[in-house]
Structure 1
Amino acid sequence: MNDTAFYPIGTPGQPWGDAEKARWLSRQTRLRSYADEVQAAIEPLRARFDVVEYGRLDYAPDTYPLFAIRNRAWRGDLPCVLVTGGVHGYETSGVHGALRFVERHAADYAERVNLLVAPCVSPWAYERIHRWNRDAVDPNRSFRENSPAPESAALMQLVAPLRDRVLVHVDLHETTDTDESEFRPALAARNGEAFEPGEIPDGFYVVGDSDNPQPAFQQAIVAAVARVTHIAPADRNGEIIGSPVVAPGVINYPVKKLGLCAGVTDARYVTTTEVYPDSPRASAEQCNAAQAAAVCAAIDFALAH
């Protein structure tokens, strides 16, 4: 291992203890406002949708209310669609793509599905533009029993009554340049492992469930998003972020085994979206539009099949 490239917290080869986590936390600063950018965007939606507070994060001295948005024509005989964003708080279009979907497209599905949208699962991380929560825990590896992440636990509690009724779950994410420059090195340091450099894909792709891959569903989403922004090509090894490309823009993970948000229900149709906001070929507007297009395509496919 090249120690000169090691993350500036911790000792190479040794997992972090409480002292290292405290030092990491001391380096985190608020860079944007959940109240001003997310809660303020939710407020106007109350005129057309039900907005529920499904939990509250107590990260003293701050507290963060957690909101979910539901359509008012909720019926027991309709399938449920779950949309989640901001599980990784730094992935901006996950949050604002979810809100864009509600604002511009959710009404199109009234009386056809029950919609439940949690646009910002990790507000502390949203404000600090970070992948982890305050305890240096990745919420998107924590969707499991006795979760160490309160963000994940709150969402699981919200979804639990609907777990068997969800037909579609779309979890909105980004892959960014900082994954390689900050977050993967930090992960390796936290775990006491060597950092192995990787390659950031340029473009949109989706991650299906390797235990329930649904290839036609995944490809329908990619086809719809291709009209909005470009699709990530496979690298020279035929992979995206180390996983084999099974179709253009499609890879698979064992989502439940990994504790990913995409495994929080037993939905037939599940996908994790990944846009690339750092591409010179994509704007923030395109990224938000791509996320909303992915949600629409997912619902459309499920309803047609």
Structure 2
Amino acid sequence: MKTAETYPIGTPGTPWGDAECAEWLSSQTRQRSYEAEVLSVIERLRSRFDVEEYGALDYGPDYYPLMAIRSRDWNDDLPVVLITGGVHGYETSGVHGALQFLDKHAAEYAGRVNLLVAPCVSPWAYERIHRWNRNAIDPNRSFHEGSRAEESAALMRLVAPIRDSALIHIDLHETTDTDESEFRPALAARDGKPFEPAGIPDGFYVVDDSENPKPDFQQAVIKAVEQVTHIAPADENGEIFGSKVVARGVIEYPLAQWGLCAGMTRAPYRTTTEVYPDSPRVTPEQCNAAQATAVCAAIDYGLAQPSF
């Protein structure tokens, strides 16, 4: 495993400058196709949904349209559900779970909610199976005013009209073995900090908002998903990634304070899902299904509340 001291770029204890970021960028290679694997699927959904380009990444020579899918018969009297995936491009089931929900389950909610789905927020990183964008910035720490991540800024512009009125925001993520072997060591090296191993939780979990927790909502998601894949246990310290497990499969972060995608709206029901695709107990199909199931559970819970 790499550490901040053994990471091949930079000097231990010294944050990266332009030269180190350029060296990192030169090592990134395209490993899959956004056009073939994502845009083609979105194209097939056009007959059932409104599809729009809400921005683009001009990462010359590469150009990536940023795509969103909406309910065709948008009704301002209905609650709004925001679904985001691929904020970290390498987290595959976040992208394909969102698309699977649209294809297989969205019809069940027609006339009951308005859906706004951004299935692949970070297409450059999707192609390179990476956490950061082209500029070595983590989009999922960049949902704040003046964001330097184009991916995050574009999504915030898209969401602005429903920011204060959305009922639910579910942000679909994965925790992978490469978090510990590559991405967290890279982060420590980039920032000139020591790498502190945390271990990878084996299973699905969710992240609630520590500033406005909704424990019953989170448990509704957990109970639905455990029918599809196993739930991550707490470690010997009762934690996941250094955060206290407040209920089975649930930890909390200050979503807005940390600039996380799930904190970008004032939706009363917000969660970040974390699927574990590297477990020998799951398949890619199960991972996608877990994400789609989490979306359904989130919507079902929101619609069941007294105000709706």
Aligned partner of 1:176 in structure 2 is: 176
Aligned partner of 2:189 in structure 1 is: 189
1:225–1:4 CA distance, 2 compared to 1 (3 A)? closer
Structural mapping, 1:80-159, within 5 Å: 80-159=80-159
What's the CA shift for 1:3? 7.7
Cα distance between partner residues in 2 of 1:134 and 1:56: 13
Cα distance between partner residues in 1 of 2:51 and 2:25: 32
User: Does structure 1 residue 43 correspond to structure 2 residue 43?
Assistant: yes
Aligned partner of 2:27 in structure 1 is: 27
Q: Is the contact between residue 3 and residue 12 of structure 1 (CA under 8 Å) also seen in structure 2?
A: no
- 1:252 is paired with a residue whose SS is strand
Aligned partner of 1:79 in structure 2 is: 79
What's the CA shift for 1:165? 1.2
Q: State the Cα RMSD in Å.
A: 1.0
Cα distance between partner residues in 2 of 1:62 and 1:5: 32
Map Cα deviations across residues 227-269 of structure 1 (whole Å, 9 max, x no partner). 0000000000000111000110000000000000001110000
Q: Is the contact between residue 4 and residue 189 of structure 2 (CA under 8 Å) also seen in structure 1?
A: no
> With structure 2 as the length reference, what TM-score do the two structures score?
0.98
Q: Is the contact between residue 4 and residue 188 of structure 2 (CA under 8 Å) also seen in structure 1?
A: no
What's the CA shift for 1:166? 0.4
> With structure 1 as the length reference, what TM-score do the two structures score?
0.98
What's the CA shift for 1:198? 1.3
Map Cα deviations across residues 69-123 of structure 1 (whole Å, 9 max, x no partner). 0011210111100000000000000000000000000111011110000000000
Amino acid at match of 2:283: S
Aligned partner of 1:13 in structure 2 is: 13
Cα distance between partner residues in 2 of 1:73 and 1:201: 40
- 2:45 is paired with a residue whose SS is helix
Cα distance between partner residues in 2 of 1:143 and 1:7: 27
Range with bigger deviation, 82-91 or 105-114: 105-114
Tell me the percent identity: 74
Q: Is the contact between residue 85 and residue 173 of structure 2 (CA under 8 Å) also seen in structure 1?
A: yes
Aligned length: 304
Q: Is the contact between residue 6 and residue 195 of structure 1 (CA under 8 Å) also seen in structure 2?
A: no
Aligned partner of 1:236 in structure 2 is: 236
Aligned partner of 1:198 in structure 2 is: 198
What's the CA shift for 1:212? 1.1
User: Does structure 1 residue 294 correspond to structure 2 residue 289?
Assistant: no
Aligned partner of 1:247 in structure 2 is: 247
Amino acid at match of 2:232: A
Cα distance between partner residues in 2 of 1:256 and 1:214: 15
Cα distance between partner residues in 2 of 1:4 and 1:276: 24
What's the CA shift for 1:164? 1.1
- 1:46 is paired with a residue whose SS is coil
Cα distance between partner residues in 2 of 1:116 and 1:261: 14
Q: Is the contact between residue 206 and residue 274 of structure 1 (CA under 8 Å) also seen in structure 2?
A: yes
Cα distance between partner residues in 2 of 1:269 and 1:61: 39
Q: Is the contact between residue 170 and residue 273 of structure 2 (CA under 8 Å) also seen in structure 1?
A: yes
5+ residue gaps, structure 2: none
5+ residue gaps, structure 1: none
Cα distance between partner residues in 2 of 1:280 and 1:56: 37
Aligned partner of 2:160 in structure 1 is: 160
Q: Is the contact between residue 84 and residue 120 of structure 1 (CA under 8 Å) also seen in structure 2?
A: yes
Map Cα deviations across residues 258-298 of structure 1 (whole Å, 9 max, x no partner). 00000111000000000000000111000000000000000
- 1:199 is paired with a residue whose SS is coil
Q: Is the contact between residue 208 and residue 253 of structure 1 (CA under 8 Å) also seen in structure 2?
A: yes
Cα distance between partner residues in 2 of 1:256 and 1:151: 17
Aligned partner of 1:269 in structure 2 is: 269
Cα distance between partner residues in 1 of 2:57 and 2:16: 24
Cα distance between partner residues in 2 of 1:3 and 1:111: 51
Cα distance between partner residues in 1 of 2:179 and 2:211: 26
Aligned partner of 1:220 in structure 2 is: 220
Q: Is the contact between residue 80 and residue 116 of structure 1 (CA under 8 Å) also seen in structure 2?
A: yes
